[in-house]
Structure 1
């Protein structure tokens, strides 16, 4: 009998995390086994080893920017592609053991990022509180039963469905528009077809530490009309002054302007890691001026071919 293909999906657990909420948006994952992992490295290792067909990981937050652990992991694990992105609104609640009131809360257990995003509310509502860092938002809630050091926790909405907790306050985040961007990562060479509302993710190393090197890299996009929605530097780690750049560019690798920009990047830097082209989660059409239409690049290439061969275009 043929071997049954693996259809497991990995996500940062345990149950109730924002990552699980992102995975719930993937139609192909519905009804399939989901595997909760402890960190991004374990999630990507599942994909590389074949334990999971894909992994959902957080890559950017609208308040805190890029997730450095994810960016560094993607730079160091070859053979992975981003095949989709998903947005999850970031909302927080305060939860506690049954019988606890908000006035009784003296110590809050919270992931450092969640704590930072609720700091204004906490200082206004619980000005004398203390903070114990947690490894995740769900771990902050579950730890209320483990050591009793904290009176309450910052957690995702709905956490009381998974644990015997009561909600003391909701919408405690300081930014009502906060959203986290997640990407689904798989081990594949297939590229989703262009939709006109796409994003391309790459990681580029500056070949040398010199004046104008960053400008040279950015010009590969600017001169081809490609907008960048994310650019973040990360140290390579082998020497001071050596950086790689994590870049999200508006467009698809099969768009002429994008493919031409990638060729320019490859000439500029020997280390360009293509992470994938995939549909944008917000479905917003990519905007660019008409002089960067596909037909403009094609016509220019045909013109050059005519000059070289001497044969007129058909």
Structure 2
């Protein structure tokens, strides 16, 4: 009797190489343990992997607590068909100063760093290495590798803490970021599938366009949610690109598409907007239960529907 075939291992794309914040987000996905992790060079490559079937899912940065939404991710989700968000994950953004073994702080005259990471460490650098010079690097991980292999003319690098798990580097200083509360939000993206089951602590992401440029158009869009007691945790505008003054809005709403109030809001939005992209309903990373007033409970929406149906049937209704 032949042995049963080994189950196929799933493939997850992430912004590599190993040691990045994106890898740290992927480490939070239980289903990704023991599967194939595919490092890519940018978000576009990760999305293409999913769409073209090379990967089952991709981990993508979508929002930073300091810099706001990641525009390349938002624009890709708005324009690429067949994608669905199935989860979100939060990664604290902190940095370490690393160098080749044997290096001391006194040896550091030049620091390699990605420009964004460098900007987030200005205060610490001014206090501890005020006379340093900066060499830009292509990524947070590339800065450390460049110092280690000598391809960058620097004695130390600003990098993610996870870098030391993959390379023989010495940590000269930890927690060097200026904002200790900085967090990046990542989303796990798959091909279009059914929304994940409702948990009570959920988020729904959509992208919607305004019908035309007129007074009150944005207010009318937002009222689809406020009239149904739905809180919005994110709303950002992105240019559509076909003309000046034309925008689409990236929206995160508290709740799940299976909630009656959310379903009604989405239907109202569909009637109002010329284009709505449903990105997914998925568990919140913070696992906070969505709170709402009693008048917006599913029971109230169901009772209103039953009342209307009774009127249509001609029943006597008090």
Please, what TM-score do these two structures have when normalized by structure 2? 0.93
* Range that drifts further, 184-193 or 10-19: 184-193
Deviations 1:54-91 (A, max 9, x none): 00111111222111111111112111000111111112
Counterpart selection for 1:230 from 234, 243, 246: 234
- Counterpart contact for 1:6–1:52, Cα < 8 Å: no
Quick one: which of 143, 149, 161 aligns to 2:153? 149
Q: Which moved more, 1:300-309 or 1:240-249?
A: 300-309
Matched residues in 2 for 1:132 and 1:29: separation?
35
Does the residue aligned with 1:219 lie in a helix, a strand or coil?
A: helix
The corresponding residue for 1:304 is 308
Structure 2 alignment gaps of length 5 or more: none
Partner of 2:47: 44
Distance 1:204 1:283 in 2: 26
SS in 2 for 1:281: coil
Name the CA distance, whole Å, in 2 between partners of 1:117 and 1:221.
35
* Structure 2: distance between partners of 1:35 and 1:4: 18
Q: Choose from 6, 18, 28 the match for 1:15.
A: 18
User: Aligned partners of 1:112 and 1:50: how far apart in 2?
Assistant: 33
Deviation at 1:41, TM superposition (A): 0.5
Runs of 4+ off more than 6 Å? 1-4
Alignment check: 8 A CA contact 1:88 1:181 kept: yes
Alignment-derived partner of residue 126 in structure 2:
123
- Counterpart of 1:270 in structure 2 is 274
Task: Name the stretch that deviates more: 299-308 or 287-296.
Answer: 299-308
Query: CA 1:146/1:269 → structure 2, altered by over 3 Å: closer, same or farther?
Result: farther
State the shift of 1:226 in Å: 0.5
Question: How many Å apart are 1:312 and its aligned residue?
Answer: 5.2
**Deviation of 1:2 (Å):** 9.3
Range with bigger deviation, 201-210 or 36-45:
201-210
| Contact 1:6–1:50 (Cα < 8 Å) also in 2 | no
Distance 1:231 1:83 in 2: 19
Within 1, Cα distance between the matches of 2:13 and 2:38?
A: 5
CA RMSD of aligned residues (A): 1.8
Deviations 1:214-237 (A, max 9, x none): 111111111111111111111111
Deviates more, 1:262-271 or 1:119-128: 119-128
Match of 2:79 in 1: 76
Secondary structure of the 1:158 match is helix
Give the whole-Å Cα distance in 2 for the aligned partners of 1:139 and 1:260: 47
1:288 counterpart SS class: coil
For 1:207, the equivalent position in structure 2 comes to: 211
3-state SS, counterpart of residue 280 of structure 2: strand
Q: TM-score normalized by structure 1? A: 0.94
- Cα 1:113–1:302 shift into 2, 3 Å: same
Alignment length (residue pairs): 313
Q: Could you tell me whether the CA contact under 8 Å between 2:113 and 2:158 is conserved in 1?
A: yes
Choose which of 185, 188, 198 in structure 2 pairs with 1:184. Answer: 188
Unmatched tracts of structure 1, length 5 or more: none
Distance 1:274 1:2, change over 3 A: farther
How far 1:267 sits from its partner (Å)? 1.1
Match of 2:66 in 1: 63
1:217 matched to which residue of 2?
221
Measured after TM superposition, the shift of residue 146 of structure 1 is 4.4
For 1:294, the equivalent position in structure 2 comes to 298
